[in-house]
Structures are given as C-alpha cells and as structure tokens.
Amino acid sequence: MGSIATKLRNFIVSEDGPTAVEYAVMLSLIIVVCLTAITTIGSNASSVFSKVANSIH
C-alpha cells in the first residue's frame, strides 16, 4: 500500500502533467488565432479579387 501512496505523491509533486496541459492550451490558442487570421485574410482577398474582376468587365 505504501508503494501506491508513494507513486501518488510523486505524481502530484511532478510538474510534467501541468506543463503538458499548459502547452496544450497554448497550442490550441495559437491554432485558433491562426485560423481566424487565415479566414479574415481569405475573405479580404476574395473581396479584392471580386472588385478587380468587376472592374475589368
């Protein structure tokens, strides 16, 4: 039984778990920002190309 308590204590004291969670949260935020930026740039580019196409006709 002491072995389980020791393993549990080591797991709680270890900082590997919280560090992995922090990196996962940062990665998800970076992905959301990138997707938002790509969507915005894509919409703006589409608008510009539409305006150019209409002005040529």
Write down the pLDDT at residue 22.
Answer: 87
Dump pLDDT digits (tens) for 1-57.
568 888 777 777 776 667 778 899 999 999 999 999 999 999 999 999 999 999 997
Write down the pLDDT at residue 13.
Answer: 74
Distances from the Cα of 36 to the Cαs of 9, 32, 40, 44, in angstroms? 42, 6, 6, 12
pTM for the structure as a whole: 0.59
Write down the pLDDT at residue 17.
Answer: 65
Distances from the Cα of 46 to the Cαs of 21, 31, 37, 53, in angstroms? 37, 22, 14, 10
Tokens of 45: 């580019």
3 state SS of 49: helix
